[in-house]
Amino acid sequence: MDPHSKLLTAAYPPEYRYPQLSSPALAALDFINIMAYNYTGPWDPANKGPHSTLTHANNSIAFWKKQEGVQALDLNLGVPFYGYEFQDSTTVIAKTYAAIVESNTSNADQDQVGNIFYNGRPTVRSKTHLAATAVGGIMIWELGQDRFDHYSLLHTIHKAYAEVGVTTTPCIP
């Protein structure tokens, strides 16, 4: 990949290394995107609750750095732009951040509305500060689920990086 100026990256679960991922393969990666979300969801509807807390983020970073020996700058912290609505013990529905905030703009600053669990702006701000100080960067799943106005999580990330002194490109709200 180097002769072609290409990077080799991968996205991996927060606290699990696939047995097929050999040490040489891990070492060949330029960086890893930690999917620090989906601790619960539609595959486990009886486990109602948050799927991507700040504690989850800290635990996932610790796993890849301490247990797997990956250097901090070779890790990116993944943040979700979606949530899960636990309708009952058998049914969970994914909701975009945009839809959650569309129903009530005050939801932008919360992590839970009824049985819907997601990351609002304060949590994303905290995770961005964590990413800026503990790992190489941040990864978004999935940008198309954001709001494209002043409630935007991308805009929140941009402002949070500026708060910790990271120079970024201009952000259009």
Distance CA 10, CA 75 (A): 10
pLDDT of the residue at 13: 95
Tokens coding 141 = 């799943």
Burial of 134 (0-12, 13-18, 19+ CB in 10 A): middle
Question: Within 10 Å of residue 146's Cβ, how many Cβ atoms?
Answer: 21
**Range with the poorest average pLDDT among 1-15, 49-63, 144-158:** 1-15
Angle between helices 121-134 and 153-163 (to 10 degrees): 40
User: What pLDDT, in 10s, does the model give residues 114-147?
Assistant: 999 999 999 999 999 999 999 999 999 999 999 9
